Amino acid sequence: MGILEVQNVNKSFGGLKALHNVNLDIEEGKIHAIIGPNGAGKSTLLNCFVGKLTPDTGTVMFDGHSLLGIKPYEINQLGVSRVFQTPEIFSELSVWENTLIPCFAKRDGSFTLNALSRVSDNKDMAEKAEKMLVDVDLINKKDMLASSMSRGDKRRLEMAMCLSQNPKLLLLDEPTAGMARADTESTIELLKSIQKKLKITMAIIEHDMGVVFSLAQKISVLAQGTVIVEDIPENIKGHPKVKEAYLGEAQVEGNMRDD
Amino acid sequence: MNTISKADMKTLFFVAIIALLAPFILNPFPTDSGLAQFNAGYPDLMQRFAIYGILAIGFNILFGLTGYLSFGHAAFLGVGSYSAVWMFKLLSMNIIPALILSVIVAGLFSLLIGFISLRRSGIYFSILTLAFAQMSFALAYSVLTPLTNGETGLQITLNDPRILAAENVSGNLPVTTLFGLEMRDTWAMQVGAWDFQFNIGYYICAIFLLLAFYLSIRIFRSPFGMMLRAVKTNQNRLNYTGINTRPYTLAAFVISGMYAGLAGGLMASMDPLAGAERMQWTASGEIVLMTILGGTGTLLGPVMGAGFIKYFENIFSKINDTVLHGWFSWMPDGLENIIVWVLHLFTGKGWHLTLGIMFMLIVIFLPGGLMEGMSRIGNWWKRRKGDDDAESKSTTTAAE
Amino acid sequence: MDAILLQILNGLDKGSAYALIALGLTLIFGTLGVVNFAHGALFMLGAFCAVSLQKLVAVSKITIDPSQVDFLGNPLKVKTPYVIEWFGPKIGNAIIDWNVPLAIIIAIPVMLLIGYVMERGLIKHFYKRPHADQILVTFGLAIVIQELVKANFGANPIPTPAPDQFVGSFNVGALIGLDASYPYWRLIYFAFSALIISSVFAFLRFTTFGMVVRAGMADRETVGLLGINIDRRFTIMFGIAAAVAGLAGVMYTPINSPNYHMGMDFLVLSFVVVVVGGMGSLPGAVSAGFLLGILESFASMNEVKGFFEMLYLPSIDQIIIYLVAIIVLLTRPRGLMGKAGVMEE
């Protein structure tokens, strides 16, 4: 029994079948990667998890709740956080405020009009935010405007914001896309240490096979809208079906790295 | 007092001093000098400064923090005025119940309009609020004539019940008071050639302005205010942080509607009448302009913008062709006529043209308003000073 | 039945104006992604093209006729419009009489030019600015245009009559066995609007230019990547939208005498039309325009008004459009024909 169960999900756009009977089972506490060639339906699948798209048929169950037909904020309240391909942060606010906002957000989403207390008077929130910034190594940049940071730092900030909510499941959409090598390495290290410390379940969509194989404990390969293989990384390497999916590329390891 | 920070306390103190000394500051020219027309220390005008200041502060809580551009705030101003005048008609001429009702009614009205308009964001929201404001105007102008007295406007009369007031034996229309203090009471102080006027009504408005300003500081620095700024920069991330933005934006909308209601109530308290024209789209546009002119999202900007616009409205409207001819009479006749003809477009009744052009210029060249302009000048000044002694020192300021 | 037919007909002319303005608004929004708060001002400028032409053709040469005297005994000054002087009384009078239709010829190039200049000179610089700035700057422009017109033409409405042939009414109802007489000019206005609307649609559907524009509306970047100068075409579309609004204004003058604030009055209602029709949908804008125009006219029927008066709501016709908009918005937030994803952050 996984924490996120996807059963028989179908989704088509017009005549195009984007997802075809997708079944997926993400186990609690594991890092699960979803890979596949361009146009395999990875992003469509992810969007079905977070309420952006509703599948035509099938179910998406998270921790006993259906994720279908409910709003993104309700999905987050169930314990799903998401890191975007291009970091979605509050770019006009300072790094410090960026981290404070998820701290102030009530886990059940309830609204309180705390219009008269001062942000700086909430010591416990400040402690929580500070701890998060230390964790992602951004504490010395806390007064910077979020938009003026490097892409790697933005990604770390976004991750800090997601993690301060103690999510049960963290969705990562190409967390290293467009990053310099050094940033990629540090992101991998960050994710590993988070996993070790907090035991958060993560689902990663990723192009970079280096990242996938150094992080994932389980991999699902998506091709033409359907899951063709689901296995541990060692068995994915060199799997004939996977090779076939990547256009008959003979040397999976070599070519996939350049992807 | 640790409810607001030291820097904010300074700003508040600064505004308080200006407000207290306004009758002096706004009256720099001797009464019978030629420049007396540039004075602004009249009770009527000073009241307007304070009232529009409150209005702009409230609008800024919505637009400045959340980025939701409402084109319908004049509707709440109008609603506040009507409520206040009804209180004067039914209850008594005391302004306190009138103001309370203004704020409550405007709050309820903005709750209703906000509930519907905030279903959409961006351009859609602006269009919807504009439409609602026009609808409110139509309601006030014709549909709800029994409540608003249509195009004549709502006024107090001798026959009004005024159940809490003592019987009126004088036969004159009663005046608005605060427990006996008459709003129109003015004490004039003559110092040499100067004539300073201290008006009760103005000081009441100024007190409300300070309260409004203090409250807006608190909101700006609160977690709620931070959430509102987060709404402005990235709603998507807020949604993925488990936050439904609707209650936040609605609360901001209602708060700013209540500010507008208070302003409307004060307007009626200074002069007990209310008309539909107060709700027209031009009035809404003026509120927007005050805020962006001063500096959207800044604390002090909207108050400055309101003062600036109301001051120049007053000055420009007074300049007619005779005044213009007086100014340029030293020129050759032909040139004088041409200049007067050009300036005529912008002054007197042409004030709205000036307003429109100012609107465009500010949006195009100075989106941050006067506050940004001031900080730009400040930076330029610093840099210039820095250049002077840059000969010896390394230029750290240039990196800015 | 007669009354119903009459109300439908009455609604058509206002509906036509709403539809034409809303069509232009939607075109600009769809192509450039800008909501043009100055679009009402373009409608008003069109109307003032007709007013200007009327003033122009009335410019007269003053001659003194010694054979006649006025009541003071001075020789009579006779005014002869130059058009009569130049083209003879027959053609000259026809020109004066037909000035509104003739104004179309002037309005098309003038409005295209105004639209072009507006887009290149102002709107272009605002594509990358926040929506609020786009709204504010066009709003400021609307005030400026309006005040300039006021300074030039005064604040009062200026009567601009239709050609004599079209004054009077025609019993439309007789065609289908009913009785409903209807002014000629309003029929012409409706037919004219229908012609413009169908030409715009045909232009977008059947010409290569239109095809590219439609493709650009759907996916601007891809079309740009194909090496097509989509910006240029969008500028032209802005000009066309301005011309459509202008023509709507020219032809509307005989129905209601133009004044400087007519643009904003129509603009607010046209916005409501766009919202009801569905942001970004051209057919939605047109059909909602006619729908709301007809609805407004029904609400002004004495029977309907009387009914609402019993509910203490006199002059329901003033607000009916807004009420409908609220209901539509609460039940179908995207409007009647709105597409998903338009203006949804």
Task: State the burial class of residue B380 (Cβ atoms within 10 Å of its Cβ: 0-12, 13-18, 19+).
Answer: exposed
Closest Cα in chain B to C317 = B143
Q: Count Cβ–Cβ pairs < 8 Å, chain B vs chain C.
A: 121
User: Which of A75, A33, A35 is CA-nearest to residue A54?
Assistant: A75
Confidence of residue A257 (pLDDT cuts 50, 70, 90): very low
What is the rounded average pLDDT of the residues C264-276? 87
3-class secondary-structure state, position B178: strand
- For the stretch C166-183, pLDDT in tens is 777 777 666 666 666 778
Q: Given a cut of 70, is residue B356 above it in pLDDT? A: yes
CB contact under 8 A, A89 and B251: no
pLDDT over 50 (residue B139): yes
pLDDT band of residue B389 (cuts 50, 70, 90) is low
Q: Give the model's pLDDT for residue A259.
A: 41
Rounded to two decimals, the ipTM of the complex is 0.85
Q: Is residue B241 part of a domain?
A: yes
Q: What is the mean pLDDT of residues A130-145?
A: 86
Evaluate if residue A46 carries a pLDDT over 70. yes
Give the distance, in angstroms, between the CA of residue A45 and the centroid of all CA atoms in the same chain. Answer: 12
Written as six digits, the tokens of A61 are 């169950």
Which ranges in chain A are annotated with CATH 3.40.50.300?
Answer: 1-79+168-259
Nearest-CA distance from A113 to chain B in Å? 6
B397 has a pLDDT exceeding 50 = no
C135 to each of A9, B288, C38, C127, how far by Cα in Å? 43, 11, 9, 11
Q: By percentage, how much of chain A surpasses pLDDT 90?
A: 2
Q: Give the chain B residue whose CA is nearest to the CA of C312.
A: B144
B393 assigned to some structural domain: no
Asked whether residue B84 is domain-assigned, the answer is yes
Q: Do C135 and B69 touch (CB under 8 A)?
A: yes
**B210-247 pLDDT, tens digit each:** 999 999 999 999 999 999 999 999 988 998 888 899 99
User: In the structure, do chain B and chain C come into contact, i.e. share 3 or more CB pairs under 8 Å?
Assistant: yes
CA distance A66 to chain B (A): 16
Residue with tokens 């075809």: A20
Of the candidates B366, B213, B211, B212, the residue with the CA atom closest to the CA atom of residue B300: B213
Contacts of C182 (CB under 8 A, 6+ apart): C6, C9, C10, C169, C170, C171, C172
Highest-pLDDT range among B247-256, C126-135, C196-205: B247-256
First-last CA distance in chain B: 35
Say which DSSP state C99 is in. H
For residues A164-183, average pLDDT: 84
Do A and C share at least 3 CB pairs under 8 Å?
no
Angstrom distance (rounded) from CA B46 to CA B43: 5
Q: What is the CA radius of gyration of chain A?
A: 19
Fold of the domain spanning A1-79+168-259:
Rossmann fold (3.40.50)
pLDDT at C224 over 80: no
Q: Is residue B154 within 8 Å of B148, Cβ to Cβ? A: yes
Asked whether the beta carbons of C22 and C273 are under 8 A apart, the reply is: yes
**In this predicted structure, what is the pLDDT of residue B387?**
66
For chain A, percent of residues with pLDDT exceeding 70: 95
- Which segment, B36-45, B362-371, C300-309, is predicted with the most confidence on average? B362-371
What average pLDDT score do residues B361-386 get? 87
pLDDT value at position C340? 61
How confident is the model at residue C93, as a pLDDT?
Answer: 80
CA distance C315 to chain B (A): 5
Q: What percent of chain C has pLDDT over 90?
A: 20
Whether B63 shows a pLDDT value over 90: the answer reads yes
Question: Three-state secondary structure along C270-294?
Answer: HHHHHHHHCCCCHHHHHHHHHHHHH
More confident residue, A28 or B168: A28
Contacts of residue C137 in chain B, CB cutoff 8 Å? 359-360, 363-364
d(C-alpha A174, C-alpha B334), whole Å: 72
Assign C159 a pLDDT band (cuts: 50, 70, 90): confident
DSSP H/E element including B364? helix B351-365
- B87 pLDDT more than 80: yes
For residue C344, is pLDDT > 50? no
How does DSSP assign chain A, residue by residue? --SEEEEEEEEEETTEEEEEEEEEEEPTT-EEEEE-STTSSHHHHHHHHTTSS--SEEEEEETTEE-TTS-HHHHHHHTEEEE-SS----TTSBHHHHHHHHHHS-TT-------SS-GGG-HHHHHHHHHHHHHTT-GGGTTSBGGGS-HHHHHHHHHHHHHTT--SEEEEESTTTT--HHHHHHHHHHHHHHHHHH--EEEEE-S-HHHHHHH-SEEEEEETTEEEEEE-HHHHTT-HHHHHHTTT-S-HHHHHHH-
Does residue B376 sit within a domain? no
Question: Per-residue pLDDT tens for A216-251?
Answer: 888 888 888 888 888 888 888 777 777 777 755 444
DSSP-assigned letters across all residues of C294-309: HHHHHHTSHHHHHHHH
Find out whether B103 and B80 touch, Cβ atoms under 8 Å.
yes
Neighbours of B237 (CB within 10 A): 23
Neighbouring residues of B141: CB distance < 8 A, sequence distance ≥ 6: B148, B150, B151, B276, C318
Bridge partners of A172, per DSSP, are A83, A204
Could you tell me the CATH number of the domain that includes residue B78?
A: 1.10.3470
- Token representation of residue C312: 């203490």
Q: Is the pLDDT of residue B399 over 70?
A: no
Distance CA B302, CA B310 (A): 12
At B395, is the pLDDT very low, low, confident or very high (cuts 50, 70, 90)? very low
Closest CA to B134 of C143, C36, C44, C268: C268
C256 vs A62: CA distance, rounded Å? 63
Which of C141, C315, C325 lies nearest to residue B143, judging by beta carbons?
C315
Mutate to test the interface with B, among C21, C123, C144, C300 (most CBs of B within 10 A): C144
Lowest mean pLDDT among B183-197, C1-15, C245-259, C330-344: C330-344
Calpha distance A152→A133 (Å, rounded): 14
Task: Give the closest-approach CA distance of A108 to chain B in angstroms.
Answer: 8
Is the Cβ pair B69, C312 closer than 8 Å? no
Whether C292 has a pLDDT exceeding 50, the answer reads yes
Question: Three-state DSSP class for A4?
Answer: strand
Statement: residue B94 has pLDDT above 50: yes
Q: What is the CA radius of gyration of chain C?
A: 23
Q: Does pLDDT of C314 surpass 80?
A: no
Structural domain contains residue B86? yes
Give the structural domain span for B230.
6-318
C336 at interface of B, judged by CB pairs closer than 8 A: no
How does pLDDT run across C71-114, given as a tens digit for each residue?
777 777 777 787 777 877 787 787 888 888 888 888 999 999 99
Judged by a CB distance cut-off of 8 A, whether residue B233 touches chain C is no
- Count: domains in chain B: 1
The rounded distance, in Å, linking the Cα atoms of C289 and C278 is 11
Per-residue pLDDT reduced to its tens digit, C10-51:
888 888 989 999 999 988 888 788 888 999 999 999 999 988
Residue C342 has pLDDT above 60, yes or no: no
Identify which of B274, B308, B290, B263 has the alpha carbon closest to the alpha carbon of residue B54.
B263
Q: Which helix (H) or strand (E) holds B340?
A: helix B333-344
CA–CA dist A83, A102 (Å, integer)? 14
- Give the least confident one: A171-185, B26-40, C305-319: C305-319
The tokens of C202 are what?
């045909």
CA atoms within 13 A on the CB side of C238: 27
3-state secondary structure of A22: strand
Conformation bin of residue C255: beta by default, left when phi > 0, alpha when psi is -120 to 50 = alpha
pLDDT band (50, 70, 90) for residue C337: confident
Residues C133 and C138: their CA atoms lie apart, in Å, by 8
What pLDDT shows up at residue B304?
92
**Containing H/E element for B170?**
none
Who contacts C309 (Cβ-Cβ below 8 Å, separation ≥6)?
Answer: none
Q: Please check the confidence at residue B400 and state whether its pLDDT lies above 50.
A: no
Q: What is the mean pLDDT of residues B10-30?
A: 86
Instruction: Report H helices in C122-183.
Output: 131-153
Which residue, among A62, A104, A155, would best test binding to B if mutated, counting the most B CBs under 10 Å from its CB?
Answer: A104
| More reliable by pLDDT, B390 or A160 | A160
Q: Which of C248, C274, C272 is nearest to C262 (CA)?
A: C248
Contact C140 B143 (CB under 8 A): no
Q: Which pLDDT score is estimated for A48? A: 84
Minimal CA separation from C98 to chain B, in Å: 33
- Six-digit token string for C318: 């003033």
